[in-house]
Amino acid sequence: MDTKLVVGNGNGDAHSGAEAAGAAGAAVAREPYRYAVLCDCTATDRTERSLDRARIPQRYRQCTFENYETDTDQKGASPEQIEGWKRVLAQAKLNMQGFARDFPAGAEHGLLLMGSCGVGKTHLAVAALQEVVLRGHSGLFYDYRELLKEIQASYSADNPVTEMGILEPVLTVEVLLLDDLGSSKPSPWALETVGHILNTRYNSNRATLLTTNFLDGDVPREQSSAAGMRNSPNIMEDKLADRIGTRIRSRLYEMCRTIEMSAPDYRKEIRRAGPLRS
């Protein structure tokens, strides 16, 4: 741990080590005391260690609420469409800020951010997770596919990590961010595993943040097209229930508030430089 030595003279005056040594020969000098003050570098290291424990990827660590942009533009879009996109993104940002600000006392214990690629779902979810973690709460980031791969790999006899060694923190951490839900094709094993994770966390009243590129089938095509969601080449043809099963989707209706985010793909916009949405 990096520290800075501060020496005092007992009168409430603090000196550096050199100043204290010079004053030590004076007739009125009292026995000096010493205490350590953490350097700024130590606070930075502590932040990085907290984010490491939360498994937040380096490429997302710049994601904050402050640098999330709600302004958007697209050739051919009407002013009404552009204003509608801005309102949707601004409301999603407010919802995630509210979760981060109020945790753990808030009423929200599950948030599902749903929308096409590049609207900023992962950005907002990571921003919320980082704020919570840096206040001292436990949190974990997992990509949906990577989590399933890690659990599968634990079944190998050569792998020193057990299935429970992976699942235990996922089940018990205060806030879990499961990114890109439904990104791998469903299998009975995958659906059973994900269902177990979500049910356990829900029954234990633990907060879960999820993002997905897959929409629900009950959104009228004309409504979603007007919002700029289904007229995008990035929209997924499969519905969320197709990717995670109707039982898990039903559970998510109960455990999560759904935040639909509609806007053009930020990554494809050619404009001023800034952090990428995900």
DSSP string, 197-260: HHHHHHHTT-EEEEEES-B-TTS-HHHHHHTTSTTSTT--SSBHHHHH-HHHHHHHHHH-EEEE
| Window from 70-74, 153-157, 236-240, 244-248 with minimum mean pLDDT | 70-74
What pLDDT, on a 0 to 100 scale, did the predictor assign at position 124? 97
What sign for the dihedral angle of Cα 102, 144, 149, 201?
positive
What pLDDT, on a 0 to 100 scale, did the predictor assign at position 82? 84
Domain shared by 63 and 192, yes or no: yes
**Number of compact structural domains in the chain:** 2
Domain shared by 7 and 98, yes or no: no
Q: Which residue has the higher pLDDT, 107 or 101?
A: 101
Task: Check whether 174 has a pLDDT greater than 70.
Answer: yes
Q: Which residue has the higher pLDDT, 208 or 273?
A: 208
Domain shared by 26 and 107, yes or no: no
67 CB contacts (<8 Å, ≥6 apart)?
274, 275
Task: Check whether 20 has a pLDDT greater than 70.
Answer: no
Domain shared by 141 and 22, yes or no: no
Domain shared by 34 and 96, yes or no: no
Residue 268: DSSP 8-state: G
44, part of any domain: no
278, part of any domain: no
Radius of gyration for the chain, computed over Cα atoms and rounded to the nearest angstrom: 25
What pLDDT, on a 0 to 100 scale, did the predictor assign at position 106? 85
**CATH, residue 65:** 3.40.50.300
pLDDT-based confidence at residue 199 (cuts at 50, 70, 90): very high
Domain shared by 121 and 30, yes or no: no
Domain shared by 25 and 105, yes or no: no
Q: Which residue has the higher pLDDT, 42 or 20?
A: 42
Task: Check whether 52 has a pLDDT greater than 60.
Answer: yes
43, part of any domain: no
Domain shared by 85 and 185, yes or no: yes
Domain shared by 11 and 107, yes or no: no
CB atoms within 10 A of CB 12: 6
Task: Check whether 138 has a pLDDT greater than 60.
Answer: yes
What pLDDT, on a 0 to 100 scale, did the predictor assign at position 40? 58
Domain that holds residue 32: 3-38
What pLDDT, on a 0 to 100 scale, did the predictor assign at position 123? 96
45, part of any domain: no
Nearest 5°: CA angle at 18, between 16 and 21? 110
What pLDDT, on a 0 to 100 scale, did the predictor assign at position 228? 44
Q: For 78-95, what is the mean pLDDT?
A: 90
Q: For 146-156, what is the mean pLDDT?
A: 96
CA separation (Å) from 188 to 43, 183, 194, 232, 244? 45, 15, 10, 31, 10
Domain shared by 163 and 246, yes or no: yes
- Render pLDDT for 202-239 as a digit per residue (tens, 0 to 9): 999 999 999 999 999 764 443 343 344 434 445 567 89
Sheet with strand 33-38: strands edge to edge: 14-15, 3-8, 33-38
Containing H/E element for 40?
A: helix 40-53
CB atoms within 10 A of CB 200: 14
